[in-house]
Amino acid sequence: MRRRFHRARSLPSWLGVVAIAVALGGCVNATVDEMTYNEPVEGIGESSVVILGRRHAPDYDTEFDFIECLGDHIHRGDPSIEVINELAFINQLYPWFEPRTAPMQPQSIDRLMDMPVVADRLEEMKLEYMIWIDGKTVDTESTGSMSCGIGPGVAGCFGFGTWGTESEYEATIWDFTDKIEVGRVSAATSGQSYMPAVVVPIPIIAPVQGTACDSLGDQLLEYLSALH
């Protein structure tokens, strides 16, 4: 036990493992597709944008934190763009944006606007664009093994694990005034994460979802902002 412990702490082994892991873990592949039209060349002015996740699929929900990440990315890139918080929006318009009732086509917006209270609320918000995000991040194949032990005064792990992660998201942009779809942007990213453990596990996580957020966010920002 003790010998193994000393060997693990030797500098070359540490550096070797970390260098390999960092070199491999930094790799995230991203593919972005874009098809947009009717771009607001002078920006959206004082109007606002809402980004909403689709959650009607039986086996996944578009993550709330991904939607928040996109909103932050857009607002950071152009502070003049007001992005309405997703949860606040669906609460203020309950029950019209629940998975059961949310409009699936831009033409369905008219049905919502027939209700004066809903139309008034949306007008108060100065909503210009509604962006629907559909997708998910999943872990794929994993390999390796790691064993950990604990005893009085000593604890540690040894082993190596690796797993893949894939993200796939599609943003559909609706022009809320004209009630038409004005673009689709998609981002697919994948990467490999590693977890070497010599006494202490060192997770080297590939920022797959973060890269998807940045890629999609950049494209949306380019569409919405006059500065980009």
Partner 1 sequence: MGVASLASTTSDREPRVNRWLCWLCLTLLTAGCASKQVVVEGNFPTPLLEPLPITLGVIYPSAFAEHEVFDEAKGRAESDWLVKTGEAQVEFWDILLAGMFEEIVHIRDWDTVQRRRGDIDGVLIPAIAELQYTIPTHTNVKIYEIWMRYAFRMVDISAIHQQEDGALTFNPEDRLAAWPITAYGKTPTAFLQSDEEAVNLAAVVALRDAGAHFVTTFGANPDVALWLDEIAAKQALPEPTPPLPEPADLTVDATIDSPITEPAMNSADATGDMTGDAQ
Amino acid (1-letter code) at residue 12: P
Q: Which is nearer to partner 1, 42 or 105 (CB)?
A: 105
Smallest distance from partner 1 to CB 111, Å: 11
Q: Which of residues 54-93 bind partner 1 (CB under 8 A)?
A: 59-61, 63, 91-93
Q: Which of residues 185-204 bind partner 1 (CB under 8 A)?
A: none
Smallest distance from partner 1 to CB 83, Å: 20
Q: Could you give the CA distance from residue 30 to residue 21 in angstroms, rounded to a whole number? A: 20
Q: Which is nearer to partner 1, 121 or 179 (CB)?
A: 121
2 binds partner 1 (CB under 8 A): no
163 binds partner 1 (CB under 8 A): no
Q: Which is nearer to partner 1, 92 or 225 (CB)?
A: 92
Q: Which is nearer to partner 1, 5 or 37 (CB)?
A: 5
Smallest distance from partner 1 to CB 74, Å: 24
What does the binding site for partner 1 look like in residue numbers (CB under 8 A)?
1, 4, 59-61, 63, 91-96, 98-101, 115-118, 121, 147-152, 154, 156-158
